Chain A
Amino acid sequence: MVMSMKQASREKGRPLPSSLFAAILYVVMFVIYSINAPSAITLGGITDLLNNTIVLAIASAGLTLIILAAELDLSSVGVIAVSNVLVATVSTKMPAGTIGSLLLVCLVGLLVGLVNGWLVAFLGLQSLACTLGTMIMCQGIALVILDAPGGEVAAFIMNRLTDTVFGMIPVAGLILAMVVLAWLLFRRTRFGIAIYAVGTDAVASHLTGIDVKGTKLRVFALAGVAYGLAGYLLSAQTGTGDPRVSNSFLLYVFAAVAIGGTSLGGGRGGVIGSVIGAAILTVMQKLLFAVGVADFYTNIFSGLIMVVAILFGNLSAILTLHQRMPLTRHGDHGYSAQ
Chain B
Amino acid sequence: MVKANVSSLTPILQATGVHKRYGATVALDDLCFSLYPGEVCGLLGENGAGKSTLVKILSGIVVPDAGEIALEGQAYQPHNIVDARTRGVSTAFQELSLIPTLSIAANLFLPKPKVNAIGLVTIRAIEELTETILKQYAVFDVSPSTLVGDLSLGLRQRIEIVRAMLREPRVLLLDEPTAAIADREWLFGLIESLLARGTAILYITHRLDEVRRLCKRCVILRNGRKVLDAALEDMTDDQIFSKMAGRSVVETYPIRESNIDEAAPPVLAAHKASAAGVNDVTFRLRRGEILGLAALEGQGQSSLFRVLAGLVPLKGGSIEVNGEPVRLRSARSARATGIILVPEERKTEGIFNDLSTAANISIPIINRAARFNFIRNRKERQMVERGASRVDLNSRYLWPNINALSGGNQQKAMLARSLLANPKCLLLFDPTRGVDVGTKQIIYQVIRKFAREGGAAVFYSTELDELVHLCDRCLVMYRNAIVAEVRQEELTPHLLLSLAAGHKIDAYGTA
Contacts and interface: CB of A to CB of B under 8 A. Distances in A.
B348 to A, nearest CB: 11
A211 interface: yes
B96 interface: yes
Contact of B80 (A189, A190, A209, A327): A209
B459 to A, nearest CB: 16
B150 interface: yes
B501 A3 contact: no
Interface in A202-242: 203-211
Interface string B197-220: 000000000000100000000000
A244 to B, nearest CB: 39
Contact of B298 (A189, A197, A205, A329): A329
Chain A residues touching B, range: 35 or more
A331 B297 contact: yes
Interface in A306-337: 325-337
A104 interface: no
A332 B181 contact: yes
Contacts of A206: 61, 81
B306 interface: yes
Contacts of A332: 154-155, 181-183, 296-298
Interface in B78-119: 80-82, 85, 93, 95-103, 105-107, 110-113, 115, 118-119
A189 B501 contact: no
Contacts of A326: 276-277, 302-303, 306, 312
A199 to B, nearest CB: 8
Q: Pick the 3 closest A-B CB pairs, nearest first.
A: A329-B298, A207-B97, A336-B184
Interface in B101-154: 101-103, 105-107, 110-113, 115, 118-121, 123, 127, 139-147, 150-152, 154
B182 A1 contact: no
Contacts of A267: 99, 101
A188 B121 contact: yes
A337 B497 contact: yes
Interface in A272-329: 325-329
A94 interface: no
Contact of A208 (B81, B185, B500): B81
A201 B99 contact: yes
A327 B277 contact: yes
Most-contacted residue by chain A among B93, B121, B277 (CB, 10 A): B121
Given A208-B81, A326-B277, A332-B298, A200 B101 contact: yes
B293 to A, nearest CB: 13
B93 A336 contact: no
Contact of A1 (B85, B123, B155): B123
A327 B61 CA distance: 34
A335 B105 CA distance: 27
Contact of B110 (A203, A209, A331): A209
B480 A328 contact: yes
B186 interface: yes
Interface of B: 61, 80-82, 85, 93, 95-103, 105-107, 110-113, 115, 118-121, 123, 127, 139-147, 150-152, 154-155, 158, 181-186, 188, 209, 276-277, 296-300, 302-303, 306, 312, 462, 464-465, 480, 493-494, 496-497, 500-501
Nearest to B307: A326
Interface in A124-152: none
Contacts of B186: 333
Given A207-B97, A209-B85, A331-B141, A8 B464 contact: no
Contacts of A205: 97, 99, 110
Given A7-B145, A197-B110, A334-B182, A204 B494 contact: no
A336 B127 contact: no
B123 A188 contact: yes
Given A206-B81, A329-B152, 5 more contacts: A1-B103, A4-B106, A7-B145, A331-B154, A331-B155
Contacts of B103: 1, 4-5, 8
B81 A209 contact: yes
A57 interface: no
B146 A196 contact: no
27 contacts: A1-B106, A3-B123, A4-B105, A4-B127, A4-B145, A185-B118, A193-B102, A193-B113, A200-B99, A201-B100, A204-B95, A206-B61, A208-B98, A209-B110, A326-B276, A326-B303, A327-B152, A328-B299, A328-B480, A329-B297, A331-B152, A331-B155, A334-B182, A334-B185, A334-B500, A335-B184, A335-B296
Given A208-B81, A331-B155, A335-B183, A8 B93 contact: no
Contact of A328 (B120, B139, B184, B277): B277
A194 interface: yes
Interface in A227-272: 267-268
A208 B111 contact: yes
B299 to A, nearest CB: 8
Contacts of B151: 329
A268 B494 CA distance: 45
A190 B112 contact: yes
A11 B143 contact: yes
A269 to B, nearest CB: 10
A42 interface: no
Interface string A149-188: 0000000000000000000000000000000000001001
A268 B151 CA distance: 17
Nearest to A327: B150
Contacts of A4: 103, 105-106, 123, 127, 144-145
Nearest to B184: A336
B463 to A, nearest CB: 9
Interface in A1-48: 1, 3-5, 7-8, 11-12
B223 to A, nearest CB: 26
Contacts of B497: 334-335, 337
Contacts of A268: 101
A188 B501 CA distance: 41
